[in-house]
Amino acid sequence: MQKVIFGFLMFFTSISLLGQDKISNPVLKVFIDSLYSADQAVQQNAIDAYQRTGSIDTFAVYEKIQIQTFEKHIPILKKIYSDNGYPTVDKVGKESTLHFFTLIQHADKDISFQKKMLPIIKKQVDKGQISGREYAYLYDRVQINSGKEQLYGTQLEYDTEGNAIPKNLKDKQNVDQRRAAFKMETLEKYLVKATELHKQMNRKK
């Protein structure tokens, strides 16, 4: 069944991408985009279920599906990297490169894979192909999930009033300097935005 789907993707891609900016691997682009669509759908389903019912139990059901989907994608991401190298802008386009990055972000069940990707992503940052913000998010995520301190304050928790607080932040007095190096807003502005979004998402419809 997978071979049939893959064959269809090749045919579809050869037609739909005619006349667009040239990329070296349009089939891979479509495949990455399909993984990203599934990734985003399971997250949105969990959010919608909670906002619709206000039930933690209902949310937990959808959250389990979300985690299973993220985990299922990990060997696929590894195979993509093994066969093609990192899906750079010239290979799959800017949008799909960012989609692949998001999938790596969600590969929390394999921290060693995320760590392996960090220096590779940093090279893309240095080339101007990926923003430093993305690198900062993944670096902090790996650090926190490894029980270590984060540097950029991207990984958050929330107090009883729903206010965003950075988890286990190292050298807080210089965090804005580090964030500025990657053209990120100040930590204070980031926390305000995160707090507003968190409260909106948890407001019952």
Cα 38 from Cα 53, distance rounded (Å): 23
Q: If pLDDT is split at 50, 70 and 90, which confidence band does 160 have?
A: very high
DSSP label at residue 164? E
Residues with Cβ within 8 Å of residue 29, at least 6 apart in sequence:
13, 17, 23, 87, 91, 92, 93, 96
Whole-structure pTM value: 0.81
- How confident is the model at residue 21, as a pLDDT? 59
Q: Which residue has the higher pLDDT, 22 or 184?
A: 184
Distances (CA, A) of 163 to 176, 188, 199: 19, 12, 8
Spans of all domains in the chain: 1-128, 131-205
Query: pLDDT, tens digit, for every residue of 95-151?
Result: 999 999 999 999 999 999 999 999 999 999 999 999 999 999 999 999 999 999 999
- How confident is the model at residue 147, as a pLDDT? 97
Report phi then psi at 158, rounded to 5. -130, 140
- What angle, rounded to 10 degrees, do the helices at 94-105 and 132-145 form? 10
- How confident is the model at residue 59, as a pLDDT? 79
Contact (Cβ atoms closer than 8 angstroms) between residue 171 and residue 140? no
Dihedral sign (CA 80, 108, 5, 20): negative
Contact (Cβ atoms closer than 8 angstroms) between residue 92 and residue 80? no
The answer on pLDDT for 12 being more than 70 is no
Question: Which residue, 57, 40, 143, 168, is CA-closest to 95?
Answer: 40
Contact (Cβ atoms closer than 8 angstroms) between residue 173 and residue 133? no
